[in-house]
Structure 1
């Protein structure tokens, strides 16, 4: 895990810097600087607008008695998109912009849910010989119980 984080935090900035330098070389330095500033501004504005809407969706789901899974994932992806747009770089801006497109965000959300679902199943089935089927995982057992109070004796 540490190696992955280390590689991510060292390789991503190098790739971002290379792409920004190439953008500045083939267009102009002012285009590259303007690109970084404009996408940062867009990320800040969209975080406020779409973040508030995502929060309202979560509240509406809770009022309706529904589990706000999709709304929470949507809100998380909007937060991630805004963070990527605020950070300087071409690659992160591209991913941030795609996260702000609703049909792309749904695709990313499904991918994220699939990843976490696979991780949970892997985590809970490690050590078992064979992974249980999806039907076996969804099966639950309900045990009824009740409380019996015993009278207290004062001696």
Structure 2
């Protein structure tokens, strides 16, 4: 089971390089480079803009005495989506955009919540409560 992340660390960059090569061959290397740089700039801008909304929503929930679980999941999606946009490559850009758009973000929030619940039930994730 520990070899799975190692395999992904090899496969994903190779897939990204192949996608960059094919897009560069299709539309030209200069435009491909420009797209990669613009996606990183867009990612940073969009994360800064969306994280403010999430932060304000979380503060409002905390002021009402509610746990901001949905805001935390949104923040995780925005952070991961922004990181995926900053990483050069088109496959990561697609997933990054999907995680940043408000219409598709709930899908990834559900997947993250499922991952957390599965980790808690398997004992891989442990919760500690303080008094």
Determine whether 1:116 maps to 2:101: no
Matches of 1:10 and 1:21, distance apart in 2: 17
Partners of 1:68 and 1:57 lie apart in 2 by: 8
Aligned match of 1:99: 99
Query: 1:11-46: CA deviations, max 9, x gaps?
Result: 111000000000000111012101101100000111
Structure 2: gaps (5+ residues) = 125-131
Say which structure is richer in helix: 2
Aligned counterparts of 2:4 and 2:56: Cα–Cα separation in 1:
35
> Match for residue 74 of structure 1?
74
Moved more, 70-79 or 51-60: 51-60
**Which has the greater radius of gyration?**
1
Q: TM-score, with normalisation over the residues of structure 1?
A: 0.75
Q: Find the counterpart in structure 1 of residue 26 from structure 2.
A: 26
1:115, distance to aligned residue in structure 2 (A):
2.1
- For normalisation by structure 2, the TM-score amounts to 0.89
Alignment correspondent of 1:7:
7
- Displacement over 3 Å in runs of 4+: none
Question: What number of residue pairs does the alignment pair up?
Answer: 124
Distance in 2 between residues matched to 1:4 and 1:54, nearest whole Å? 33
Q: Give the deviation of 1:5 after TM superposition.
A: 2.0
